[in-house]
Each structure stands twice: as structure tokens, then as C-alpha cells.
Structure 1
């Protein structure tokens, strides 16, 4: 059974822990490609190396998730993950051969990729039965992400990209100290609860033509987003932009995300036709965003375009998660969410890193973004066709072999 929170737990320390973890993650996501480029790696090599993350996460997430479910000390597990992330990151920063670098990154991603999910698990363990909303703690993660990206740019500009290793270690160290300052979680009564199999009903899920189409079109939209996430900093610096501009771009992409998610939560109608329509619309906004990015002529233009990230990325993944729930009957939703994460994050992450690196290296960033816009347009049209059929014929979650029900959603 999962741990129960000690009533003396400090909300302030928990918010600080969340702030530092997210701050460390954005440092790595934003500036590590620049560090690799400074070490002499080309765009394709950088893309291949960063594609390890989504690939390793396919195995790392179930491993750490199952460990968290079965082992009665969530805080210790998170501390193990933080320690591994710090040690293997420093090994990667100090690597002098490709073999050492690739080995260190494989081990790093094994500890790092599930870290945010386990941070959420830890937070929920502490605030369980306290009445405190999870969103008030998750908000500090977004604040840490945005502010760290913004402030780290000028620091790295002055101190050099080699100082990234020290900044990353400092933030992870602060997260570990915050974790140590949290009061221990008391072990609940009763035996251990074995986590349910997330792949139950796998055959029924993939035989649902609507859900399968939803995954495929979503993959086409997700791949260009991964390209942008991986290579945005390199694109800005290749245009002559500073690391401060890189930090500004990431800040602008993140600071409105919480507001967008709250608006979606409050106003979006939870029906299959309505959500498919919104998914098609948000995908078209993605197309417009990639076209603008490809046409940009200055680093500041690229940075300002990132304001659209809050609407496109935030709206896209929120609606996608809701549709996963509505497109499948209740017994198969766990399997559906596993496929949703595997496709839109795992496979898209690998493809985006490799394909984006190859396009960037051989044809330039503008062509990479234009190709991304073309892929996204196909996905948008696919979602539009799905919306038309569901709007005309309705959809019932129980008809998972493709038969239509009479209702347009629920």
C-alpha cells in the first residue's frame, strides 16, 4: 500500500522541491543540445543522442512506477532517481569518448525520464486527505521551469556553456536537500496492493479503428513538436541569437501553459465530436506555428512565436488525454493511456530526434520546420475527417470494433 502522509508535512518545502526539480529538467532540456554542439557533435549526432530519452522511457517508466507502487518508501525511490540522475549527468558532462557519453546518457535517461511522474506521485502522497489541491503544487513546477530557463540564459552567456554542469548539479542538489527536509511519510496499514496490468485488453484497444486512427494522426502532430523541443536552442543560436534569447523563448513557451490548461478544464465540452473538432483546430494552429517559425528571420521572432506553445502543446495534449478516456470503454482505458503515452511521447520522441537531426543537418532548420508543418497538416486533416464521421454517425465507447453508436459522445 502507498505511504500515508505525516500530518506535519510542510507545503512550503514540497513546493520548493517541485520548483527545483522542474528547474533542473528545463536546464537540461534547453541547454544540453548547446553543450553537445560546443563539444563538437553535429545536428544528427545530437538528435540521435537525445532520442535515447524517449526510447529508454518506454522501459524506465514502468520499472520505476511499479517500484513506487510496491515499495513502501516513495521518498527513498525519488531520492534514488535524483541521485542517479545527478551522477550519470556529471558522467556525461565529463565524457571524453562517444562510448562513455552514450553509456552515461542511457543510464541518465533511465533515472531522469520518469522523474517528473514520480515527483507527482510523491506530492500526491503528501497532500492526500489534506484538502490541498494538487494544482497549487504543480504550479510551482511551471514557475521553476519558466524562471530557470529565463535566468540561466544570461548566466551561461557570461560563464560559458561549460558551467551548465554546475548549474544542473546545484538545482538537483537543492531538490535533494528539499526532499531530505520533508517529514517522513508514515507507512499505511494493510498489505501491498499490486498494481493492475496496464496492458490488459491490448488486442481490443488496437482493433478499435477510431482509437488507432487517433494515435496515428496524433503521432504525425507530435513528431514535429519533438523536433522543435530538441532543436529550438540550436536554431536560435545558428541564427546568431544568444543564450539569453534561448532562455526567453522557453520562458515565453511556458508561462501561459497553466492558464490554458485551466481554461480547457473549465470550458471544453467533454464529448468525442467536440474534442475531435478542437484537436483538428489545435493541429492547424501547430501548422501555422511551424510555418511562422520556418519564415522567421531573427532570433527574437523565433522566441516570440513560442508564445503559441501554451495554446498548441497545452491544448493538444489535454484534449488528447481526454479523448483517450472517451474513445474507450472503462475496462480498457488504462491500456489506452499506455498506448497514448507510448505513441505521442515515446515513438514521437525517438522519431523527432532522429528525423529532425537528419533534416536539420542536411537541409537546414527552415526545411525541417516546413516538413514538420506538412506532417502536422496531414494529422489535422485526419482529425477533421474523424470529426466529420463521428459528427454524422455518433460514437459509443462500447463499440470498440468500429461500430457506431447513436450518441455523439459523453
Structure 2
């Protein structure tokens, strides 16, 4: 079944919208649940296989490094094919197959090769799933947060259940089995989704239009400051589980830490749906506040002595990550033409998890190995403070200049 509309100007019909809502929610639930298992417990899987912190960090940094190529490639391909749903099916199938090589290779050299191929398919999935959500809800009156919250629930509930299971079965075979099963369910949900008809299916952005978006000083500053704020977040995502076990915590406690970080995300997505305003001034206030909370979060992480304290501190993730993710997604949609929606979200993802993830994995692993986790988190707090000051200064500059809110660039037919 083709995902292209018979009428280029036609958007999703109301019947198609309604048919997409349930499998779209299930898709987000299982996708985020699968990645929660991989992101939270794969570092422990590698540690149990005998790797040190620097080696684990370097291996996990492959994902953000590969995403520097994979995100633009899949974003551009999706925009050219105007077929995000089928492209995601291909990405999920590739990830599912390559995961089997990742979990079963026996040498360091082969696991690096397998991880490169694996992350080429896996790393852009969040950006393209956001694009797909925006496509299905376009013209339906539904809000983005109402669907993305199912991803937060999937991440939280799956992590808690996975921690219980893995604490009893071990990281092997627990991690491979859980990840494979959840990814298989995600693939089935993607197949069950109806055809996605995009209103801009045959729109062509004027030459240089996307280049003008990239050179917009406000948007570029947002991306650059986002890299600073996201580096410590990426460090935490890679090494938090190892920090818990180093402090004497169990695998089950790891699951509860991930649960506490995500369970309230759904609430904050709904709050943002209710109170969010597509105004640059409001967005700058949100980004400044979120960056300040990030700084507080990393400082608290640097002074903990009991692994249970990490579970409580992780609750700040719900407002910090949800706030930055929601505002960033909406800001990107304001600056990027509809015809380049997938590419724009890929660019935002690169700034948030690509560049910062490479730095976080390698430098964070080196700092953890040589100076300990407290020093790693203190450096993260410092970076977040710089980001806070940067966003505040940018907001003040916009206020003084009375810069108007951007109008998305439309493609020419």
C-alpha cells in the first residue's frame, strides 16, 4: 500500500487519523520501552563481559558518532520519499537483525563493526518517529504531547519490569531477549499503522531555503547551546547505571532509577500541551529554567553517597528532559519548512544526542575511569550553568530587539 496521497493537497482524513491513533500510541510505548532496555542495561551487559568504563563509553559513543551521518541520511531520504512510515519499518527491521550480531559476536573488533551497522539503523528512530507523529496528527486537532507521553510510559514501565527480570536472570540472556521482543512488537505496530498522507507530499522547497534556516542566528544559537546542556545529560544516560552498581545498588534498583526518571514525563508533556505558547520569548524562559534545573540535578548527583538517592534525583529528569525535548521539537518545527520536517528533526536530534553523545561517551568514560563519577557530574553541572547563562542572554537579546516570531518557510509547488 502506497503512503503517497492520490491528491497532493490532501492531508490525513479523519477516519485515517482515528485508525492511526491506537497503533501510534502502542508504537511509541514499545519503541521507547525497547530503547530503555538497551540504553539502561547494555552498559551493565558490557561491564559483565569484562569491559572497563572507558571502553564502555567509547563503544556507546559509536551511536552518537554514527548518528552524525545516519540522521541526515534517513531524514533526507524520508523527505525525498515522503514515506516516513515505511522508512521506519525498514529501520526497525534492520535494527532487529543487527542486534542479534551485537549480542552474539565474540571479539572486540567484531562488536565494534556490529555496533556501527546497528546504530546506523537505530540512532535516527526517535527523530523519525517524531516526524511520523507530527504527520499523523496534522489537521486532527490532537497535540504532540498526548502521543509522545506513551513513549515516556513505555520507557518507565519497561525499565522497572526489566530491572526486576534482569536482576534475576542476569544481563545475559535478559537484555538480548527483552530488547528483541520489544523491538519485534514495535515493528508489528508500525506495520499496523495506516498509510500516511502528507499535505506537502509534492511540495519542493525553493533552492537555498533550508540553508537560510540553518543560518538563522537564533536557531543556530539554540542548537549550539543545546549541545552544552546535552553533554552532561548524555554522560548520565551512559554511566548512571554503572554509578549505581559502583555504589552497591542492584540491577533492580537500576530499573527503578530509570522508572523514576520517566514516569512523570507523561504529566509534564500534558502540562506543556496545555500551557505551551509558540512564542520565542516564552521558549527562551523555558529553556533557561530547564538548563538551571539540569545544573542542580548534576550537582546533586556529584554529592550522593547512597544509590537510593540517585532514584530520587532522577525524578528531575521528567521536567528537565521533557521540557527541553518539547520546546526543542516545537522550535524546530517553527524554523523548518514542512517539506523538510524530517531533516529538521534530525538536525535537532544531532545537536541533542549526536555531537554531545560522542563527547560524553569518550570524555565522560575517561573522567569516570580516572577521576570518578563525582568529578564527571561536577563538570556536567558547570556546562549546564554556561547553557543557562547563554539561554538567558539570548532571551534578553530577543526581548531588546523585539525580534518577531518566525513563520515557517513553505515550499513552492
Instruction: Bin the TM-score by the shorter chain.
Output: 0.7 to 0.9
Aligned to 1:404: none
Distance in structure 2 (CA, Å) of the matches to 1:131 and 1:27: 33
- Tell me if structure 2 keeps the 8 A contact 1:51–1:351: yes
Q: Deviations over 1:277-331 (max 9, x none)?
A: 33222211111111111111111101110100111121123334445566x6979
SS of the residue corresponding to residue 286 of structure 1 reads: helix
| 1:346-392 Cα distance to aligned partner (Å, 9 max, x none) | 21121111221111111110100001111111121222233333334
Matched ranges for 1:140-159 at <5 A: 140-159=150-169
Alpha-carbon deviation of 1:146?
Answer: 1.0
1:107 corresponding residue in structure 2: 117
Which deviates more, 156-165 or 2-11? 2-11
Which of 137, 153, 172 is the aligned partner of 2:183? 172
TM-superposed deviation, 1:90: 1.3
Query: Which TM-score applies when normalising by structure 1?
Result: 0.83
- Determine the structure 2 residue equivalent to 1:408: none
- CA drift of 1:251 comes to 0.9
* Gaps in structure 2 of 5+ consecutive residues: 6-11, 407-413
* 1:104 shift after superposition: 0.7
Question: 1:300-319, aligned counterparts within 5 Å?
Answer: 300-319=308-327
TM-score, normalised to structure 2's length? 0.83
Question: CA, structure 1 residues 147+50, in 2 after alignment: closer, same or farther (shift >3 Å)?
Answer: same
Q: Does 1:49 align with 2:59?
A: yes
Q: Which has the higher contact order (CA 8 A, sep 6+)?
A: 2
Superposition pairs of residues 28-107 of structure 1, within 5 angstroms: 28-71=38-81, 75-107=85-117
Which whole-Å CA distance do the structure 2 matches of 1:217 and 1:342 have between them?
Answer: 13
CA distance in structure 2 between the partners assigned to 1:285 and 1:120 by the alignment? 25
CA contact (8 A) 2:146 2:269 kept: no
Say whether 1:390 aligns with 2:394. Answer: no
State the Cα distance separating 1:219 from its structure 2 match: 1.7
RMSD between superposed Cα atoms in Å: 3.5
Taking the TM superposition and a 5 Å limit, the aligned residue runs for 1:11-410 are 11-71=21-81, 75-121=85-131, 135-163=145-173, 164-180=175-191, 182=192, 185=195, 193=202, 196=205, 200-202=209-211, 205-206=214-215, 208=217, 210-323=218-331, 339-396=347-404
CA distance in 2, matches of 1:284, 1:120: 26
Query: Partners in 2 of 1:278 and 1:135 — Cα distance?
Result: 16
Count of aligned residue pairs for this structure pair = 394
